[in-house]
Amino acid sequence: MDWKDGAEVLYLIQPVRVKLGAPRGTLTFNAEEAELQLPLPLQADPQQIKDRVQGWLQNEAKRLFGERLAIYAEKLGVNYRAYVLSSAATRWGNCSSDGKIRLNWRLIHFPLSIIDYVVAHELAHLREMNHSPRFWQTVESIFPEFREARQTLKSHPPELLPTTL
């Protein structure tokens, strides 16, 4: 990735253009124009640009994943103890027996339906800590189209994504 003014990153499967020199000196996302305005000078170091963009993507992931967890936890009638973002190289998500959920922040590059599948999958583990037929029935009860989403993720495993965008 060439980190400069005009670079593009995927956010919820849509390309977003990075624009340096944000007019108000604050990071701003303009959804209508699919533009992320950064308060950095045009000659900013590529590492600075990358760090700001990745920070924004991770903040968006934290916010959005929290919203989706609340929706699907209510649908399933379960409570999770906490959730954190992960940068796992080989997993999209994880649920521990004590109710902690880890979600790979790089899911933010995918459409919302894929994020919802991973969220539903991990929450279903609060009922079934395995991948038995009952587990998949639980997933299906709150996310009926899980098979398509699962197949999409199988063809895009985390290890195929760059570890640093």
Decide: helix, strand or coil at residue 83: strand
Check whether 22 has a pLDDT greater than 90. Answer: no
Tokens encoding 136: 């998949």
The pLDDT value given to residue 158: 78
The pLDDT value given to residue 163: 52
Q: Are 49 and 3 in contact (CB under 8 A)?
A: yes
Please state, for a pLDDT cut of 90, what percent of the chain lies above it: 88
The pLDDT value given to residue 161: 65
Check whether 35 has a pLDDT greater than 70. Answer: yes
**Residue-wise pLDDT tens digits, 86-116:** 998 889 999 999 999 999 999 999 999 999 9
Tokens encoding 106: 């790089």
pLDDT band at 23 (very low <50, low <70, confident <90, very high): confident
Set out the domains of the chain in order of their start, with CATH numbers: 8-160 (3.30.2010.10)
- Residue 28's Cα: distance from chain center in Å? 19
Identify the CA nearest to 104 among candidates 153, 54, 158. 158
pLDDT band at 21 (very low <50, low <70, confident <90, very high): very high
Q: Are 19 and 37 in contact (CB under 8 A)?
A: yes
**Residue-wise pLDDT tens digits, 118-143:** 999 999 999 999 999 999 999 999 99
The pLDDT value given to residue 159: 73
The pLDDT value given to residue 164: 52
